[in-house]
């Protein structure tokens, strides 16, 4: 890329191929590798394009520490997507974030909470009684959130053996999961590949 032009045109408004053709080419090669290989590592499952698009959106520019307002997280979905109503409440009452500028992040997070609640709802526990935190930083943090939400110390946890594709958080003795829970590891039969 030439050094002509102002900073915004050169970097902020330019696409990746223009700013860094080498990294653009490497992304293309990795996309081709993933499209033509069978990847059996669970933590490397293929991310749908719509999810990648969302992850590459302007929301990545924001630091959204804290939570959306309680009003927003308890509203019905049709009220939640009434953007003008929600923004009026936000201007008046704010939210539980540590930084300003999270007006629209609040919508995304509250929608995600509602969708997770609907996913895990049962006849006995309706979505309105399921409370979801959708902020884990990693798979390990997500696993720990599940352990804390559903288990007591010394409860039994079944997880795939580390030597057969399991994760440290599935009961390794060096991980908190292996220290706080009784772990039953499983592995596929070497001859049949079945569990």
Whole-number Å distance between alpha carbons of 43 and 119: 21
Quick check: is 193 in a domain?
A: no
Element (H, E) at 74: helix 70-74
Quick check: is 194 in a domain?
A: no
Q: How many residues does the chain have?
A: 195
Whole-number Å distance between alpha carbons of 175 and 171: 7
Give 33-69 pLDDT, tens digit per residue. 999 998 887 778 788 999 999 999 999 898 888 889 8
Whole-number Å distance between alpha carbons of 94 and 66: 12
pTM across the whole model: 0.66
| pLDDT of 6 | 75
> For residue 134, which phi and psi values (nearest 5 degrees)?
-105, 25
The tally of domains found in the chain comes to 3
Structure confidence at residue 23 as a pLDDT band (50, 70, 90):
very high
Whether the per-residue pLDDT at 168 is higher than 60: the answer is yes
Quick check: is 134 in a domain?
A: no
Give 105-132 pLDDT, tens digit per residue. 999 999 999 999 999 999 999 999 999 9
| 61: containing domain | 48-129
Interhelix angle for 103-120 vs 83-93, to 10°?
120
| 88/112 same-domain check | yes
Whether the per-residue pLDDT at 150 is higher than 60: the answer is yes
User: What is the pLDDT averaged over residues 174-192?
Assistant: 92
Quick check: is 82 in a domain?
A: yes
| 124/146 same-domain check | no
């Amino acid at each position: 890329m030439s050094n002509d032009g102002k900073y915004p045109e050169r970097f902020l408004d330019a696409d990746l191929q223009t700013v860094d053709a080498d990294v653009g080419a490497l992304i293309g090669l990795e996309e081709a590798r993933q499209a033509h290989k069978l990847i059996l590592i669970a933590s490397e499952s293929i991310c749908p394009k719509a999810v990648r698009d969302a992850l590459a959106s302007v929301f990545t520019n924001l630091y959204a520490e804290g939570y959306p307002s309680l009003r927003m997280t308890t509203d019905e979905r049709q009220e939640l997507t009434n953007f003008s109503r929600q923004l009026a409440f936000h201007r008046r009452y704010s939210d539980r974030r540590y930084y300003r500028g999270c007006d629209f992040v609040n919508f995304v997070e509250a929608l995600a909470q509602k969708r997770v609640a609907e996913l895990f709802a049962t006849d006995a526990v309706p979505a309105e009684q399921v409370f979801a935190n959708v902020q884990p930083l990693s798979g390990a943090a997500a696993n720990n959130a599940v352990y804390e939400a559903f288990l007591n110390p010394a409860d039994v946890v079944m997880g795939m053996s580390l030597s057969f594709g399991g994760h440290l958080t599935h009961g390794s003795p060096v991980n908190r999961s292996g220290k706080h829970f009784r772990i039953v590891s499983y592995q596929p039969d070497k001859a049949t590949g079945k569990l």
